[in-house]
Structure 1
Amino acid sequence: MSAVTRAEEPVTWSEGTWTTPPHAAVEQDGMLRVTAVEGSDAWRITSYGFVHDTEHALLAPIPDGTAMEVAFDATYEAQFDQAGLFVRVDETRWVKAGVEFSDGDLQLGAVVTDGMSDWSLAPVPEWLGRRITVRVSRDGNALTVRAGADDEPLRLVRVIPFAADLDAAAGPFVCAPTRAGLTVDFASWRRGAADTALH
């Protein structure tokens, strides 16, 4: 049996609350088109020295034992254009996972922040122009991040320590640190049961 049962219960866009409102968010035909503000980003201290807390993340509760996933389309053109799924406890503890245009390539990765941020990336140039799904599963003492393009199986991205008693929220996010005009079309936002196993 697969460790991943794809989430089927829709989360309505109106259930979420923005961490920072985007330039625009327009619901049409069940999708949500989000246009980022230039300079929006999420990062804390490491290497760069700055704190950015201006991501556009639309969040709803993600209790222990559940999973959440988003599917989206975007045209990535500028350094650090990014979209995916954000998990937030507070301003110093959060995770962003998804795809990001960095140094000329589309990259799959995650930033895990607990006081300070870290960053892991792997190139996925073959995902350009395709619909991306990012999934976060919360079970016990961990978050498990998976992602995939189109209808391909989701691949394991990262396993993150995450205490079961933390009050957290999660949902789609967009950031455009270096330009105006990044628009991401979120096709779906769903929740379901946590993954049954890692492999």
Structure 2
Amino acid sequence: MSDVIPTQSASRDIPWEAGRWTNRPVSTKVSKDGTLHVTAAEGSDAWRHTSYGFVHDTEHALLASFTPRTSMEVEFGTPFEEQFDRAGVFVRVSAEHWGKAGIEFTDGNPHIGAVVTNGRSDWSATPVPGWSGQPVTMRISWADDALIVRARCSDGPWQLVRVAPFDAREGVTAGPFVCAPTRSGLEVPFRRWSVGEADRSLH
């Protein structure tokens, strides 16, 4: 994972009401400053088959149209304390073809994690203990035949997380998501959701 400074044009905010939930969370509320607070259901998750053998399609993802040569960006808080607490950005083509990237609390530390699913899920994760409790921004760019995932903590440098092949062309949606596989009461603040041009280069 390397520091990068992607070149990108100005982005446009997406209003929370423009999205549709894959699965409705326990509760949502918008504070006076425009932050969306989402409380996840216990057991909510997204995964297909690999290693664990189960299929979960119960994540809370707020999705809007995602098109080629654009990026989707989500800024959120990280109040994570229990195993597999997570939030970030979700890209969905179908129940068997989707991706997610964000911060996940695993084995006592926050990790930058990404899962790409095409029939079966994979998983990559890198510990970032210094990001605990800090605001994080995730960005997924759809450039040609790939999704480019980047992350930053607060106002720090962008870091390249993943480059994944992506062969969809239409009917794709993306937006913020949250999951709480092992507990109830996880509430995540989402501060911004925006769309812009895809990053123009990897480096």
- Residue 11 of structure 2 is matched in structure 1 by 8
Query: What TM-score comes out, normalization by structure 2 length?
Result: 0.95
1:93-139 deviations in Å (ceiling 9; x for gaps): 00010000001111101011000000000000000011000000001
Structure 1's unaligned 5+ residue stretches are none
Q: How many residues align?
A: 198
Identical columns (%): 55
Structure 1 residue 136 corresponds to structure 2 residue 147: no
Structure 2's unaligned 5+ residue stretches are none
Code of the residue aligned with 1:3 in structure 2: it is P
SS across alignment from 1:117: coil
Query: What TM-score comes out, normalization by structure 1 length?
Result: 0.97
Structure 1 residue 22 corresponds to structure 2 residue 25: yes
Code of the residue aligned with 1:13 in structure 2: it is W
Equivalent residue runs for 1:101-120 within 5 Å: 101-120=105-124
Equivalent residue runs for 1:175-186 within 5 Å: 175-186=179-190
* Cα distance in 2 between the residues matched to 1:111 and 1:142: 14
Aligned CA RMSD, in angstroms, stands at 1.1
* Cα distance in 1 between the residues matched to 2:90 and 2:72: 10
Select 1:160's aligned residue among 146, 158, 164: 164
- Residue 81 of structure 2 is matched in structure 1 by 77
* Cα distance in 2 between the residues matched to 1:177 and 1:4: 36
Q: CA deviation at 1:153?
A: 1.7
Q: CA deviation at 1:6?
A: 6.5
Task: Indicate conservation of the 8 Å contact 1:139/1:164, yes or no.
Answer: no
Code of the residue aligned with 1:43 in structure 2: it is W
Task: Indicate conservation of the 8 Å contact 1:17/1:59, yes or no.
Answer: yes
CA separation of 1:56 and 1:144: change in aligned 2, threshold 3 A? same
* Cα distance in 2 between the residues matched to 1:45 and 1:141: 25
Task: Indicate conservation of the 8 Å contact 1:31/1:187, yes or no.
Answer: yes
